[in-house]
Structure 1
Amino acid sequence: MPLSTLLDWRLHALVILVSLFSEFIGIQQIPMGPGSLLLLPLFYAFILGVLLNPNVTRTAAKVFPNRISVAAGPLILLSIMPFIARFGSTIGPAIEDLIDAGPALILQELGNLGTMLIALPVAVLVFKMGREAIGATYSIAREPNIAVISDKYGLKGPEGIGVMGTYVVGTMFGTLWFALMAGYLASLDILDPRALAMACGVGSGSMVAACSAAIAGTLPEMRDELLAFAGASNLMTYATGLYLTLFIALPIAEKLYTLLKGKRKAMPVGAQVAASAGSDDSDIPAEPRPEQELGKTAI
């Protein structure tokens, strides 16, 4: 991507205006049952960003060409970095609290299995999904989880289609959903806010930022402590989450799918695609695997 596109003044001017307008509105609380829905500036910025996307509205396309929208993607990572650095600065002073919560902080990784145990039966029994359900539900479908599915099944198979579907939906709506859900759960005062902060650490920078900011906005007096727990949890997810999904979550998803759907004859990836499409042809070759070429390239 040309540097001139990344430095286009229209993109940065739009970001500044949207940020100022969102901060001007400020945090709004909407009573909802026993709790309240917390609307953060991030929510307004998300809505404005969608409305000003040249791929969504024709009026925006006249002012902002599509290349500016494409250039905004990699800049999101840069904008998240200061917040991630903020996490690091809060973990140190709160190290004693983190040590006291040691077992809970480590075992909270097992909580990620809960989403799979709920979502997989719904996907198979209610929505009649095939093996796409395994890839879609075994994890939160971030980059490391996609790599696991790609290595084990290939991205052209149904499992790869499932994990990529969850990845796309999570990228588009996950941050917004996390911000709204976390703030509402914190306002209910049912769960310990530190437990909610630990639940924010799912391995996604934008999601953990939105989630922890919503909880901290509800309980500003515990802001630093909550950010420390969220940051430490996110770090633990990066360190242990991959092994949890690879050695525990994925095997459980396979066995649970077999239990729900019945045993199915193992097929190569290419044949799985044909079967999921309802085709009777089984002569589709398996997807090429890198390890199959080792004998040809090794000296």
Structure 2
Amino acid sequence: MSKKSSTVMGLWKDWRLHAIVLVIVLITEAIGQFSITVGPGVILLLPMLYALIIGLVLFFTPLVKEEQSKNAEPIIVLGVALLLAKIGVIIGPSLPEVIAAGPALLLQELGNLGTILFALPVAIWLGLKREAVGMTHSIGREPNVGLIMDKFGVNSPEGRGVMAMYIFGTVFGAVFLGLISGLLATITPLNPLSFAMASGVGSGSMMAAASGSLVAAFPDLETQIVAFAGASNLLSLSTGLWVSLFIGLPLTEKIYRVMTRSRSSK
């Protein structure tokens, strides 16, 4: 038996991992959905958010060992693959609506540049140096990590910055988007489908959390929300790297030079 085959068999035979996941699913589904009214809006707490928090807490207990942590990584990929397959099936019937929203879907990628315009000045104000370039040139998902590593190197300040945001986004991104999407969609007059498009940031888990909250808030729009979120996420994965390469990173570098020069001249 090859090493790869033995690894796969070991993954499926990891009864501790499967038992922990099953218990987490049963607990979170039993808890169900809760909503917290905040002024005119609603914060939706979904089972997926509970599962993320419980899993994170269990990682620091003897129940989850390093073996389970490593074995869980490929299962996440499998889960996201199933999610994307479901999204693909849903996008089909909603394709005319998705095509009709074409310009909006294409331009939504420019929204990721907001990390530069809003976060970069704050990072510089807090005293961060070149790390701020890696941290704020994008939302810091896999393609962006690869871009920074290729351009600046793994051990560069920019590399440390983008990796910090990647790790932070991996741990807290889904929780944050799951909470904020439902709240904003219920307190603003914007169309819920605009938030569905905004939830496609290039991360399957973040998109699932954000669109899940939107579906819970607007169940009659479930098909459209999932379709728009999936199409947006696919476009972000396809075009996000190019937007970062030709627009995001050069713009970040330019703003960083201007702001640091003005600060040093004072």
TM-score, normalising length: structure 2: 0.92
CA positional deviation for 1:98: 1.2
Given candidates 48, 55, 59, the residue that maps to 1:42 is 48
2:73 match: 73
Matched, 1:6 2:7: no
Residue 86 of structure 2 corresponds to residue 86 of structure 1: yes
The aligned counterpart of 2:238 is 239
Indicate conservation of the 8 Å contact 1:5/1:68, yes or no.
Answer: no
SS of the residue 2:212 aligns to: helix
Kept in 1, the 8 Å contact 2:148–2:159? The answer is: yes
Deviation at 1:201, TM superposition (A): 0.8
Name the % identity. 48
- Structure 1 residue 36, shift from structure 2 partner: 1.3
- Measure the CA separation in 2 of the matches of 1:148 and 1:214: 31
Alignment of 1:126-275 (within 5 A): 127-262=126-261
Per-residue displacement from partner, 1:53-107 (whole Å, max 9, x unpaired)?
2xx13xxx1x443311222122111122211111111111111111211111111
Match of 1:295 in 2: none
- The answer to whether residue 23 in structure 2 is matched with residue 22 in structure 1 is no
Higher relative contact order (CA 8 A, sep 6+): 2
- The answer to whether the 8 Å contact 2:46/2:213 transfers is yes
**Could you report, residue by residue, the CA deviation over 1:104-126 in whole angstroms, capped at 9, with x for unpaired residues?**
1111111111121100000002x
Give the aligned length.
Answer: 257
Q: Which stretch of the first structure deviates more once superposed, 81-90 or 223-232?
A: 81-90
Residue aligned with 2:190, SS? coil
Name the larger-Rg structure.
Answer: 1
Contact 2:49–2:209 under 8 Å retained in 1:
no
**Distance in 1 (alpha carbons) for counterparts of 2:16 and 2:220:** 38
Which contiguous aligned blocks of 4+ residues in structure 1 show a shift greater than 3 angstroms? 1-5
**Separation in 2 of the partners of 1:28 and 1:244?**
37
Structure 1 residue ranges without an equivalent (≥5): 264-299
Aligned-pair Cα RMSD in Å:
1.6
CA distance in 1, matches of 2:162, 2:64: 32
Q: Note the residue ranges of structure 2 that are not aligned, 5 or more in a row.
A: none
- Comparing both structures, which one devotes a greater share of its residues to helix? 2
- Per-residue CA deviations over 1:26-71 (Å, capped at 9, x if unaligned) read 1110111221110000111112112222xx13xxx1x443311222
Q: Counterpart in 2 of 1:293? A: none
Which one-letter code corresponds to 2:87 in the other structure? Answer: F
Task: In structure 2, give the amino acid aligned to 1:87.
Answer: I
Q: Which amino acid aligns with 2:28?
A: S
